[in-house]
């Protein structure tokens, strides 16, 4: 195979006679070229545009209008919905919660996933089983995993509380209300979400770790570097692009998700765990205020744009190198 | 059976750049084995792929059996092609690989078995029909690829470096197989290679390509003995022809013609002093590396290739009386690098 | 060495614990579950199949599983129908901008349900698909197609071009070579996409919650946490049984194909 053959002859050697094609050279097509290509990918593009692009535009239209479930007609109200959303304490609270939720869980995910990936890098007996076990939170449906946690964190029958009581750290009647107290509830949803996303980040980082050529850490070891020095000066710098990928996916999966919050707390108690997506759901779907709900979910767009841009940079750099 | 002809065939991959194939005119002869020979990047594969219909020419015409086929897709050209990797379909058995063109051409199902058996027995692979390609050796794969090519009785065979994936030992026998195969079926065959030994051994004629241009078309003897330009002169032959520049001409002679003076007839001998700097003993022959001494070509590097029959001992750093017969000299224009008439030049 | 093992054990225990807990809960008698003086790690009373009997006999659990399987199969079908040709076109026919278009398609995978569910719920009710599994069948391909196209593009690019050239010389059109050669060769890639799309359908929660209300038409991921709770009463035994029984097969299959999904997710940042 010599794919280079097609475009090697760029420089005319001194001995080459100048090209004298009978027609002006045009860039030629491969047989069965462009039209077939377009016909083959257009259906997919059209489908995705219809289901993603159209509702996306509708979301903007709703957000600048006054649509409610069952209402007829549409009145343009400009930025009114955005203004009222920005002034509503519930929204401010949820935006703040979303940031805490995302930052908190992503810090835990990256640290935890990196540690776990390092531990799983080298082959050992039973690695397949361990991998299956640690992957469970990601591969099982998240709503079902979360309901499992709801049982574990139950106000009365929590197994964690039973342990704490058994260890005499708490007494039965003042055991922590994991989902009932604002601060604890936030901590709980963060931890449960971390539990859900961590395996995904782990396998991504694992793919990055195994891609580091074996001889580089070995050379570092020969040069006298210990575990920590190799980690800080070799492994982490080489993992930068893949760490970025894991982090970007993690941010998307966290900032835009409402499943864990919805199942565990429904945003409560007192909106203390309400995040932007769940607020949009309660406002737009359950509350029927489509306009305000759409305006709330559009606050996810800036985050998406930034992440998409960064993702493109990663992909572009991967293409160049 | 048919001949393939190209007229002004040109392929430009990126506008504004020199073409991969430039203005190629050539005509095959009935039943001949034509070899496209050139270094990598010479455009030989692109030329072949245009004939197959896998690349659209930028300009020019392709004729098969006298008809212009530019607008025809590969499947309509009645050609068969054997690829460098053999391109055997990995998920199909040998039988189904060979039957694939028959199915694709919607040939009646009843005829399949008969035709597959004919093709496979022609290539001696009747016992392999149930295997998968990955279970075959390199030589067997080549045979399956050939059987798949021949089963639809094409008018032209196109072979794209089919031996380059084989190891050296297998290559010789596979080459032998190919020659026998061609003799038996007698179909016009175009064969692409960068290996001059293959080209010389198998080709009825050789098309030497360089940077997308045809440099010479001729029998192996013609392109070796009478190269059309300095590129052909140095590309063919190993080690390559010695070239000396003199005023407006370049004079060349093959290393095997550069011999100790006493091996040459006195009358036509041009005497040259040769300072040996390095010796290679290759069994059947010796290669002497060195430079000319004491003439106007002082310090010019030249090679000598001595058959085993020449048994004298040579010492590194010593100077010997060598020479070359004047009829072994080839002359090229220094500007155009093309072959010119013999000229008298001053040697001393 | 000891550190290594303690990390592995700690992570395995924490990450897998809820599933262990589901298992224990499934077989415990209700009286055992709701006695806070009992050690919850052991069976204080005889194990029971009562929760399973309730789940299979008196809830619509099996119906939800069936709905999900049917929706999954339909989504897989739509996804393959559209993503296979699209991926082939982007891998082979569209030249330089194929790669860029591929990345653009991939990025649409990042668009979350929570951004679109409000207008989509309107579209779905306009189409009359509200409260049927057809609502999710229509909507889910919007995220299975992008990622599947991206995955398949990688598979198709790894097929040697010479094979398709050979097929075209042997008498097929470009499209014929795609149907009769490329697709049969890519069976393992296609299987990966089938599993991926199917598991995504089983895992999705937000759209299913938004579009489908009646108990009988639920997808399993919504039906279990919604309808195994009556008012304020959680049927924990049956709930945990349903979670475990649904999760394990999905997890097992997904795990088999995990490495291939991850290759798609790394966006070329790992070579």
Q: What is the pLDDT of residue A47?
A: 92
Residues C123, C243 share a domain: yes
Q: What is the pLDDT of residue B122?
A: 84
Chain A CB within 8 Å of residue B38 CB: no
Residue A18 has pLDDT above 70, yes or no: no
Contacts of B195 (CB under 8 A, 6+ apart): B163, B164
We report the CATH number of the domain holding residue C91 as: 1.10.3720.10
Which fold is adopted by the domain A88-275+300-320? MetI-like fold (1.10.3720)
Residues C185, C166 share a domain: yes
Mean pLDDT of A36-40: 86
In chain A, the residue whose alpha carbon lies closest to the alpha carbon of B333 is A15
Give the minimum alpha-carbon distance from C152 to chain A in angstroms, rounded to a whole number.
13
Q: Omega of the bond prior to B239 within 30 degrees of 0, cis?
A: yes
Chain A CB within 8 Å of residue B6 CB: no
Residues C193, C93 share a domain: yes
Give the minimum alpha-carbon distance from A19 to chain C in angstroms, rounded to a whole number.
26
Chains that touch B (3 or more CB pairs under 8 A): A, C
Decide which of C191 and A172 is more confident: C191
Predicted confidence band of residue A10 (pLDDT cuts 50, 70, 90): very low
Q: What is the pLDDT of residue B59?
A: 92
Q: Which domain holds residue C231?
A: 55-270
Residue A218 has pLDDT above 70, yes or no: yes
Phi-psi region of B168 (alpha: psi -120 to 50; beta: other; left: phi over 0): alpha
pLDDT in tens, C232-254: 778 888 888 989 999 888 888 88
pLDDT in tens, A80-139: 888 888 888 999 999 999 999 999 999 999 999 999 998 988 888 888 889 889 888 988
pLDDT in tens, A220-231: 878 877 888 888
Residues C155, C82 share a domain: yes
Predicted confidence band of residue A34 (pLDDT cuts 50, 70, 90): low
| Segments making up each domain of chain A, as ranges | 88-275+300-320
Residues C59, C18 share a domain: no
Q: What is the pLDDT of residue C233?
A: 77
pLDDT in tens, C172-185: 888 999 999 999 99
Residues C37, C76 share a domain: no
Contacts of A280 (CB under 8 A, 6+ apart): A293, A294, A296, A297, C114, C117, C118
Residue A24 has pLDDT above 70, yes or no: no
Residues C193, C61 share a domain: yes
Please give chain B's pLDDT, 348 residues, in tens: 568 999 999 999 887 778 899 999 999 998 899 999 999 889 999 999 999 999 889 999 999 988 999 998 888 888 999 998 889 999 999 999 999 999 988 888 888 999 999 888 888 888 899 999 999 988 889 889 989 998 888 889 999 988 887 888 888 888 888 888 888 888 899 999 999 999 999 999 999 999 999 999 999 999 999 999 999 999 998 889 999 988 888 999 999 999 998 888 888 888 889 999 999 999 889 999 999 987 778 888 999 999 988 888 888 989 999 999 988 999 999 888 899 888 888 777
Residues in chain A within 8 Å Cβ distance of B209: none
**Tokens representing residue C242 in the block:** 């349903």
Residues C83, C42 share a domain: no
| Per-window interface: A 100-159 vs C, CB < 8 A | 112, 115-116, 118-120, 130-137, 139-152, 154, 156-157, 159
Domain count, chain C: 2
- What is the value of pTM for the model shown? 0.82
User: How many Cα neighbours within 13 Å face the side chain of B36?
Assistant: 32
Chain C CB within 8 Å of residue A302 CB: no
* B89: nearest CB among C173, C176, C181: C181
In chain C, the residue whose alpha carbon lies closest to the alpha carbon of B80 is C169
User: Which of C126, C145, C270, C271 is the best substitution to test chain A (most A C-beta atoms within 10 A)?
Assistant: C270
Closest Cα to residue C200, out of C253, C271, C128?
C253
Closest Cα to residue A33, out of B325, C174, C21?
C174
């Amino acid at each position: 195979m010599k794919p280079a053959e097609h475009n090697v002859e760029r420089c005319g050697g001194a001995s080459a006679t100048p090209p004298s094609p009978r027609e002006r050279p045009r860039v030629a097509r491969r047989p069965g070229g462009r039209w077939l290509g377009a016909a083959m990918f257009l259906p997919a593009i059209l489908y995705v545009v219809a289901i993603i692009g159209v509702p996306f535009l509708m979301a903007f239209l709703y957000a600048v209008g006054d649509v409610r479930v069952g209402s007829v007609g549409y009145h343009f109200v400009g930025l009114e919905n955005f203004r009222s959303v920005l002034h509503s304490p519930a929204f401010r609270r949820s935006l703040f919660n979303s940031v805490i939720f995302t930052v908190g869980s992503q810090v835990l995910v990256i640290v935890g996933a990196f540690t776990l990936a390092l531990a799983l890098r080298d082959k050992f007996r039973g690695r397949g089983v361990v991998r299956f076990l640690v992957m469970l939170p990601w591969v099982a449906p998240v709503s079902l995993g979360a309901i499992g946690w709801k049982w574990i964190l139950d106000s009365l029958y929590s197994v964690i509380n039973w342990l704490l009581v058994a260890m005499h750290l708490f007494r039965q009647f003042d055991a922590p209300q994991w989902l009932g107290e604002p601060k604890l509830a936030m901590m709980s949803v963060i931890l449960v979400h971390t539990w859900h996303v961590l395996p995904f980040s782990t396998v991504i980082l694992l793919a990055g770790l195994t891609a580091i050529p074996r001889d580089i850490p070995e050379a570092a070891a020969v040069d006298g570097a210990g575990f920590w020095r190799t980690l800080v000066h070799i492994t982490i710098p080489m993992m930068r692009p893949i760490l970025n990928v894991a982090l970007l996916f993690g941010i998307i999966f966290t900032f835009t998700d409402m499943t864990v919050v919805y199942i565990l707390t429904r945003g409560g108690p007192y909106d203390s765990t309400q995040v932007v997506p769940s607020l949009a759901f309660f406002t737009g779907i359950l509350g029927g205020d489509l306009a305000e709900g759409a305006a709330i979910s559009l606050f996810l767009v800036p985050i998406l744009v930034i992440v998409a841009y960064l993702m493109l940079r990663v992909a572009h750099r991967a293409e160049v190198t | 059976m048919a001949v393939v002809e190209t007229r002004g065939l040109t392929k430009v991959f990126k506008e504004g750049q020199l073409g991969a194939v430039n203005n190629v005119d050539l005509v095959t002869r009935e039943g001949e084995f034509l070899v496209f020979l050139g270094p990598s990047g010479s455009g030989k594969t692109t030329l072949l792929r245009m004939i197959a219909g896998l690349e659209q020419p930028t300009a020019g015409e392709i004729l098969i059996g006298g008809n212009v086929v530019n607008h025809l897709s590969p499947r309509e050209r009645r050609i068969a092609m054997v690829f460098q990797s053999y391109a055997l379909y990995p998920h199909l058995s040998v039988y189904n690989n060979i039957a694939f063109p028959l199915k694709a051409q919607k040939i009646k199902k009843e005829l399949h078995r008969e035709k597959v058996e004919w093709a496979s027995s022609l290539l001696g692979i009747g016992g392999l029909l149930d295997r998968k390609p990955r279970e075959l050796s390199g030589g067997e794969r080549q045979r399956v690829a050939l059987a798949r090519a021949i089963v639809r009785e094409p008018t032209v065979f196109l072979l794209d470096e089919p031996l380059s994936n084989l190891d050296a030992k297998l290559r010789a026998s596979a080459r032998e197989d190919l020659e026998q195969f061609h003799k038996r079926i007698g179909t016009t065959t175009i064969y692409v290679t960068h290996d001059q030994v293959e080209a010389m051994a198998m080709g009825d004629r050789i098309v030497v390509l360089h940077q997308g241009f045809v440099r010479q078309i001729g029998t192996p003897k013609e392109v070796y003995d009478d190269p059309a330009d300095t590129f052909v002169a140095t590309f063919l032959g190993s080690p390559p022809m010695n070239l000396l520049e003199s005023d407006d001409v370049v004079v060349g002679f093959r290393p095997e013609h550069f011999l100790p003076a006493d091996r040459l007839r006195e009358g036509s001998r041009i005497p040259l002093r040769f300072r040996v700097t390095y010796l290679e003993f290759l069994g059947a022959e010796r290669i002497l590396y060195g430079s000319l001494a004491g003439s106007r070509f002082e310090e010019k590097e030249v090679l000598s290739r001595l058959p085993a029959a020449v048994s004298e001992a040579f010492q590194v750093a010593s100077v010997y009386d060598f020479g070359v017969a004047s009829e072994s000299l080839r002359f090229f224009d220094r500007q155009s690098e093309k072959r010119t008439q013999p000229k008298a030049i001053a040697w001393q | 060495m000891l550190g290594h093992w303690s990390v592995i054990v700690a992570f395995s225990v924490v990450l897998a614990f809820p599933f262990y807990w589901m298992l224990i809960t499934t077989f415990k008698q209700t009286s055992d579950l709701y006695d806070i003086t009992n050690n919850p790690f052991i069976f204080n009373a005889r194990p029971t199949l009562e929760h399973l009997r309730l789940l299979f006999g008196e809830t619509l659990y099996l119906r939800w599983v069936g709905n999900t399987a049917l929706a999954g199969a339909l989504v897989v079908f739509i996804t393959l129908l559209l993503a296979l040709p699209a991926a082939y076109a982007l891998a082979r026919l569209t030249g330089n901008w194929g790669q860029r278009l591929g990345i653009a398609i991939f990025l649409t995978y990042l668009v979350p349900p929570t951004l679109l569910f409000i207008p989509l719920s309107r579209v779905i009710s306009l189409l009359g698909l509200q409260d049927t599994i057809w609502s999710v069948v229509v909507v889910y391909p919007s995220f299975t197609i992008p990622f599947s196209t991206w995955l398949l593009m990688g598979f198709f690019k790894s097929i040697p071009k010479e094979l398709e050239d050979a097929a075209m010389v042997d008498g097929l059109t470009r499209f014929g070579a795609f149907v009769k050669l490329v697709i049969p060769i890519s069976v393992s890639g296609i299987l990966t996409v089938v599993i991926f799309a199917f598991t995504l359908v089983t895992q999705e929660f937000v759209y299913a919650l938004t579009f489908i209300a009646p108990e009988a038409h639920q997808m399993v991921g919504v039906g279990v946490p919604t309808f195994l709770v009556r008012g304020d009463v959680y049927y924990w035994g049956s709930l945990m049984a349903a979670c475990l029984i649904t999760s394990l097969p999905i997890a097992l299959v997904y795990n088999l194909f995990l490495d291939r999904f991850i290759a798609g997710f790394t966006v070329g940042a790992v070579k």
